[in-house]
Chains A and B, each alone.
Chain A
Amino acid sequence: MKRYILQRLGIAAITIFVVITLTFFLMHMIPGSPIARENANMTEEVRAALTSNYGLNKPLGEQYIIYITNILHGNFGTSIAYSNRSVTDIIKTAFPVSADLGLRALLIGVSLGVALGIVSALRHNKGWDRFASVIAVIGISVPSFIIGTLLQAAFGLWLSSWVKDIFHTSFQLFPISRWESFRYTILPSFALGIGSIAIIARLMRSSMLDVIGQDYIKTARSKGISNTAILWKHEVRNALIPVVTVVGRMVGVICTGSFVVESLFAIPGLGKYYVNSVTARDYTLTMGLTIFYAIFVVISSLAVDILYCVIDPRVRYTGVSK
């Protein structure tokens, strides 16, 4: 097991290095520079001073080597667009917010998705199954910004105006912007999570149907085990195996911030910084965030593979090189 993890970490390091190199050169190929966007009546001298201050006047190869050296010293540089803020500082303040939102969305997605999947497999082709299919199609095909807007309209505006009419209070149960107390987190978490509910529910349903048809379920029934015990011990456990893979891949994507949902609900997460950094040609910030993103995805997929060994004993066999 140890050896397997070390092997995987080695591969991860190479992956991240390739990501850094590609991003660095691709980014510099985009026309424009971070300084160009600054004040239009900036004098040539100021511009030149800024450019050399950030080291942007050096040849690209040299810039690359300097950048790599800095990273190896743990220095991700300072943002060009947000003056006086280091990249590490931005990640430190914005990532927890994104991760918080992401985990909430994931919790909603996994719990409701798995539950919906189980119910629709057990009520195969009946009312509940149809209902779950409709939810799934909506979840997959409607983009999150539309779902987000609809949630804001329904729960933020209509509900609160209705509450105002009846109870004469301007209290908002589900605020539509900012990230403060628990109430604030509900709508954005659902907006971000509905897509994953849909994907997980469909996957769980087909996986459950597959398991229910297996011979070992018949064996379990022939032992006189109650239906509830068969459901949890034999069916759900085996049906979860493919779901874990998909959820694992989702963790990396969802927890590193969603530009759309974060913008819609005015949440100070990573997604906003990421997109803005590209449009502003904020080289250091884009690089820093990309590296962070890559590391996060690699580690979460490693975590999933380890978790996989725990739930599916057959993987342990091939995973461990003796």
Chain B
Amino acid sequence: MIVIIEIKDLRVSFHTYFGEVQAVRGVNLKLNDNDTLAIVGESGCGKSVTALSIMRIHNMETTEFKSGKILFDGTDLFKLSEKEMQNIRGNQIGMIFQDPMTALNPSMTVGNQIAEVLLRHGRDANAKRLSSKDAKERAIELLRRVKTPSPERRANQFPYEFSGGMLQRAVIAMAMACSPKVLIADEPTTALDVTVQAQILDLIKEMQSERRVSLIIITHDLGVVANIAKNVAVMYGGLIVESGAIGDIFYRSSHPYTRGLLDSISRKNGAKNEPLRSIEGTPPDLVDPPAGCPFTDRCEYAMRVCKDHMPPESALSETHLCRCWMLDPECPLKLERRKL
């Protein structure tokens, strides 16, 4: 397995009016070549920040990278200049955003916005920069590839003339235009109609296998995870609390938070009138994060040690890592097994 992206001990903070928000507090991640990694968690857990750090497109005035490195194909992205990063963005790493309705420039035609990235990075057969005519043609070709009906006409239309699902297709076309090695999809289906979500996921999967691209998908929807991911990282309070292959997370989950997430999925074969389970409480304040496990306040298994001491990462198997005190050999408590 070739590791294409490796994140080591990433710590990211935002400077805000209320103080320093420690959004990411030491994240380690690996993305294998031609693999799919899902980062799961609720709002504010640091999943988007982690993914955006790879692209380094935060508001740099308020963001501070406290420590860590991100290796992309062996190069440390944090050591690159802004100019060198620009050569990677859109070219080697593509990005799909959450809300396609706001992700495109309203005063530029969709075709031109796709052509823009081709003009920036694209090369023709003789390794020459593309002419604007060629870029336009390729943009239309890409729109056709993502199954846009009458792409010639659509390319000259503005974003407001598209539906949400159509726009997300165009955004995918844009992200895939230069055949990047890595595609980062930040909640690609969240803003879409349920009926369109599956189509978009299928399209992403199709593009992935066609172009051999490694995918990082950020979501809070475990249905999406089950559909597309091979590896999963569950984030909570700026930390990865559990990570593993998809089977590890769905069938051998060992963290109470992961278990809580799985329990809160509605079931078609559940008992009648059984209420949906939820995790009580709210995530911790990351301006002043707790010294111990961030999940302590909401955890039904919480012990005294959890509050003040950060649990170490325990390896349950070669792929499966979990950060919980219950996995300590001396702990008498064991996570209750519930049937999925």
Contact = CB atoms under 8 A, between A and B. Distances in A.
* Candidate in A214, A222, A226, A233 with the most chain B CB atoms within 10 angstroms: A222
Q: Which 3 A-B pairs have the closest CB atoms?
A: A224-B89, A223-B90, A224-B90
A220 B105 contact: yes
B86 A215 contact: no
A216 B57 contact: no
17 contacts: A124-B61, A216-B102, A216-B104, A216-B105, A216-B106, A219-B97, A219-B174, A223-B116, A224-B85, A224-B91, A225-B90, A237-B107, A238-B106, A312-B106, A313-B160, A314-B106, A317-B161
Contacts of A227: 82
Nearest to B93: A222
Given A214-B102, A219-B97, A317-B160, A224 B121 contact: yes
Interface string A191-228: 00000000000000000000000111011111111110
Interface in B69-108: 82, 85-91, 94-95, 97, 99, 102-108
A90 interface: no
Nearest to B87: A224
B90 A222 contact: yes
A241 interface: yes
B218 interface: no
B62 to A, nearest CB: 11
Given A313-B158, A314-B160, A223 B89 contact: yes
B160 A221 contact: no
Contacts of B88: 224
B212 interface: no
B171 interface: yes
Nearest to B57: A221
Nearest to B184: A222
Interface residues of B, number: 33
Contacts of B145: none
Contacts of B135: none
B326 interface: no
A297 B215 CA distance: 57
B120 interface: yes
Nearest to A219: B103
B111 to A, nearest CB: 13
A127 to B, nearest CB: 15
B55 interface: yes
A238 B158 CA distance: 14
Interface string B109-138: 100000011001100000000000000000
A222 B89 contact: yes
A314 B97 CA distance: 22
A105 B174 CA distance: 43
B106 A224 contact: no
B248 to A, nearest CB: 31
Taking chain A's interface residues, is the majority helix, strand, or loop, or is none over half, making it mixed? helix
Interface in B141-169: 158, 160-161
Interface of A: 124, 214-216, 218-227, 233-234, 237-238, 241, 311-314, 317
B107 to A, nearest CB: 6
B102 A314 contact: no
B105 A223 contact: no
A184 B260 CA distance: 78
Interface of B: 55, 57, 61, 82, 85-91, 94-95, 97, 99, 102-109, 116-117, 120-121, 158, 160-161, 171, 174-175
A226 B86 contact: yes
Given A223-B116, A313-B158, A238 B86 contact: no
Given A222-B89, A223-B89, A241 B107 contact: yes
A222 B171 contact: no
A222 B116 CA distance: 12
B89 A314 contact: no
Contacts of A215: 97, 99, 102-103
Contacts of B89: 221-224
Contacts of B99: 215
Contacts of B94: 222
A49 B323 CA distance: 106
A219 B82 CA distance: 16
Nearest to A125: B61
Nearest to A234: B105
Q: Which of B85, B105, B161, B175 has the most CB of A within 10 A?
A: B105
Nearest to B104: A216
B97 A218 contact: yes
A53 to B, nearest CB: 59
B106 A225 contact: no
Contacts of B120: 223-225
B95 A222 contact: yes
Contact of A225 (B86, B103, B109, B158): B86
A224 B86 contact: yes
Contacts of A237: 107
A207 to B, nearest CB: 13
A84 B339 CA distance: 103
A61 B174 CA distance: 69
Given A214-B102, A313-B109, 4 more contacts: A224-B117, A233-B108, A314-B106, A314-B158
A238 to B, nearest CB: 6
A241 B105 CA distance: 13
* Residue of A218, A221, A223, A227 with most chain B CB atoms under a 10 A cut-off: A223
Contacts of B116: 220, 223, 225, 233
Contacts of A312: 106-107
Contacts of A124: 61
A222 B55 contact: yes
A216 B120 CA distance: 17
